[in-house]
Amino acid sequence: MASVFASIVQAPEDPILGVTVAYNKDSSPIKLNLGVGAYRTEEGKPLVLNVVRKAEQLLVNDLSRVKEYLPILGLAEFNKLSAKLILGDDSPAIQENRVATAQCLSGTGSLRVGAEFLAKHYHERTIYIPLPTWGNHPKVFTMAGLSVKTYRYYDPTTRGLDFQGLLEDLGAAPAGAIVLLHACAHNPTGVDPTVEQWEQIRQLMRSKGLLPFFDSAYQGFASGSLDTDAQPVRMFVADGGECFIAQSYAKNMGLYGERVGALSIVCKAADVASRVESQLKLVIRPMYSNPPIHGASIAATILKNSDMYNEWKVELKAMADRIISMRKQLFDALTAKGTPGDWSHIIKQIGMFTFTGLNSDQVAFMTKEYHIYMTSDGRISMAGLSSSTVPHLADAIHAAVTRSC
């Protein structure tokens, strides 16, 4: 008998995760992994937050804890606290019971569950995503049964926001279309709208009845302040309208592999939220039945204990500050070398990533000659840099930009 799957072709490497695969294969003593967006310390090591270790110890030592199934929508306490985190403690939407929240598998899982719900229950099947966006976004939505269109976002000439293009494209979208918005620290560009620009986006979207779907993967990680980074989401919720929010704790709590996240659907009325919640269960049950308990328990432990919450904020700010400092150091290094071009976008952009503006040839050159691993779109993870490696990166960029071929 021949296998029924004998003719299957090998899938291409994931463009983002494949970078780390390639990095690991490189035997050069001096190499730099600026690919995947996972935070690294000044020593280049992954970081488990102290407050996370504390929370984990509490859980391990609590012998009354069991490993039973969570409900389909996950840990109730975690869900309430997550909604408060993004919407604010005093959010009227929460007080009025208008928010349906489901614990999901980090940002990816929250996006996918939200998208499947939309494909089942919403009359519009098109989602508008910014150009560019996180490489996994399109597949998440198409696998869920939505079709994907883009709206202009990044302006390569300014290395900033193409605000005019954004407003035009969203203005031309059909009424009711879904629009994916990066809540803060846009991935991969690091370019965020200003508060004024967010307000205009909000007004435009509400006037056209466009449905906002926020991807919030970096709350607290961008500016260092949880409230500041949540502003765009809160502006939309404050107007009483509806929206979807996918939250991830991968970066801001360093819980990457534990897959901790939440999908919140802010509705007009409490009874709507309740029905929406019941339908979310039908999406989740045939996907994985119920979410993993460990990571959410850690997150809930931290969020509900005011001392631990404050500790978390301090550690979070430290990570954000280190990244901001790396931006400054890289900018200063390139300025000092006189590398041609305007590199101010390095310090204007925000969050984990910088969209350098380097093209794929330059990236390939940097990988080959300097063993620097990054995605071919020129995105670098600032979290992968340290004071000791900034000079090497600056050398590489300088060489890539000034070489004659």
Beta carbons of 193 and 161 less than 8 angstroms apart: yes
If you count DSSP H runs as helices and E runs as strands, how many of each does the chain have, helices first?
Answer: 15, 13
**Interactions with other proteins, residue window 79-138 (CB under 8 A):** 105-106, 108-109, 112, 116, 121-123, 136
Closest distance between other proteins and the C-beta of residue 171, in Å? 5
Closest distance between other proteins and the C-beta of residue 359, in Å? 26
Catalytic residues: 134, 215, 251
Q: Is 210 exposed, middle or buried (0-12, 13-18, 19+ CB in 10 A)?
A: buried
**Interactions with other proteins, residue window 25-84 (CB under 8 A):** 36, 38, 46-48, 52-53, 56-57, 60, 65-72
CA angle, 353 as apex, 344 and 315 as ends, to 5°? 110
Total number of residues that touch other proteins (CB under 8 A): 97
**Interactions with other proteins, residue window 337-376 (CB under 8 A):** none
Could you give the CA distance from residue 355 to residue 362 in angstroms, rounded to a whole number?
A: 13
Could you give the CA distance from residue 382 to residue 189 in angstroms, rounded to a whole number?
A: 12
Residue (241 or 391) nearer to other proteins, CB: 241
**Interactions with other proteins, residue window 151-210 (CB under 8 A):** 163-164, 167-168, 171, 176, 195-196, 199-200, 203-204, 206-207, 209
The residues pairing with 358 across neighbouring beta strands, listed in sequence order, are none
Q: Is 190 exposed, middle or buried (0-12, 13-18, 19+ CB in 10 A)?
A: buried
Could you give the CA distance from residue 255 to residue 279 in angstroms, rounded to a whole number?
A: 28
**Interactions with other proteins, residue window 233-272 (CB under 8 A):** 235, 238-242, 250, 254-259, 265, 267-269, 272
**Interactions with other proteins, residue window 293-332 (CB under 8 A):** 293-295
Could you give the CA distance from residue 371 to residue 26 in angstroms, rounded to a whole number?
A: 8
> Which region among 26-34, 283-291, 335-343, 371-379 touches other proteins (by CB under 8 A)?
283-291
Could you give the CA distance from residue 180 to residue 129 in angstroms, rounded to a whole number?
A: 5
Could you give the CA distance from residue 16 to residue 95 in angstroms, rounded to a whole number?
A: 40
Residue 336 interacting with other proteins (CB under 8 A): no
Residue (383 or 397) nearer to other proteins, CB: 383
- Residue 364: count of CB within 10 angstroms of its CB: 13
Residue (48 or 314) nearer to other proteins, CB: 48
Residue (276 or 330) nearer to other proteins, CB: 276
Closest distance between other proteins and the C-beta of residue 46, in Å? 5
Residue (125 or 281) nearer to other proteins, CB: 281
Closest distance between other proteins and the C-beta of residue 372, in Å? 20
Q: Record the tokens describing residue 27, joined without a space.
A: 């035997």
Beta carbons of 260 and 295 less than 8 angstroms apart: yes
Residue (293 or 319) nearer to other proteins, CB: 293
For helices 106-121 and 137-144, angle between their N-to-C axes, nearest 10 degrees: 40
Closest distance between other proteins and the C-beta of residue 261, in Å? 9
Please name the helix (run of DSSP H) or strand (run of DSSP E) that holds residue 202, with its range, or none: helix 195-208
Closest distance between other proteins and the C-beta of residue 271, in Å? 9
